[in-house]
């Protein structure tokens, strides 16, 4: 059998290696983003460690923006593998709502952070570089953007938690192939159980 003959069946069973890598790289980046923002509060304002953690938080946030743009491009070129056994209509609708919310947050949060920093008159680092300001300094707008950024950030803990809970519930309770599509090493175990 040729590689070309094998490829379509692999694509239907699991996501492409590129999408799997982007998914888990995004997840790891989210963990680092949350860790840096939670940890920075342990140091006083002006402390070099606090400044470093916030600079990393901003850089990692912008990394998420780049990752999601690449991910959307790759996803537009591939077909999602089917879930077997199929989900109920309400589960499909719920999954779409959660995924849309996650994508909206991954696109808006880095931009809000960038605008918030600009409005506060702070630099916007992206690792070794400093990004240009999009808007001028405006402290009132900066405070408003900060409130929105923090609200969405807090809500993301719950949305990501719901996403992870649903994946585990699909795997261990509903016993479908939702999780093995993104973790191919679980596929064999799922095939044996089915």
Domains of the chain (ranges, CATH numbers): 12-193 (1.20.950)
What is this structure's pTM? 0.86
Cα–Cα distance for residue pair 25/19, rounded to 1 Å: 10
Are 101 and 158 in contact by the 8 Å Cβ rule? The answer is no
**Per DSSP, which regions of the chain are E strands?**
124-126, 129-131
pLDDT of the chain, 194 residues: tens digit per residue = 333 333 443 445 899 999 999 999 999 999 999 999 999 999 999 999 999 999 999 999 999 999 999 999 999 999 999 999 999 999 999 999 999 999 999 999 999 999 999 999 999 999 999 999 999 999 999 999 999 999 999 999 999 999 999 999 999 999 999 999 999 888 655 454 54
Are 161 and 31 in contact by the 8 Å Cβ rule? The answer is no
């Amino acid at each position: 059998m040729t590689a070309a003959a094998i490829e379509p069946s692999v694509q239907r069973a699991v996501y492409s290696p590129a999408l799997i890598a982007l998914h888990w790289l995004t997840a790891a980046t989210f963990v680092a983003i949350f860790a840096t923002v939670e940890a920075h509060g342990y140091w006083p304002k002006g402390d070099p460690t606090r400044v470093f953690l916030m600079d990393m938080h901003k850089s990692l946030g912008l990394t998420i923006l780049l990752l999601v743009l690449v991910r959307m491009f790759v996803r537009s070129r591939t077909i999602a593998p089917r879930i077997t056994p199929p989900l109920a209509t309400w589960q499909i609708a719920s999954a779409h709502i959660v995924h849309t919310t996650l994508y909206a947050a991954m696109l808006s949060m880095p931009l809000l952070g960038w605008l918030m920093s600009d409005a506060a008159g702070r630099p916007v680092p992206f690792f070794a570089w400093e990004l240009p300001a999009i808007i001028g300094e405006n402290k009132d707008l900066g405070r408003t953007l900060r409130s929105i950024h923090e609200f969405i950030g807090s809500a993301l803990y719950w949305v990501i938690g719901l996403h992870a809970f649903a994946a585990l519930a699909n795997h261990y309770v509903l016993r479908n192939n939702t999780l093995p599509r993104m973790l191919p090493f679980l596929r064999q175990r799922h095939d044996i159980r089915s």
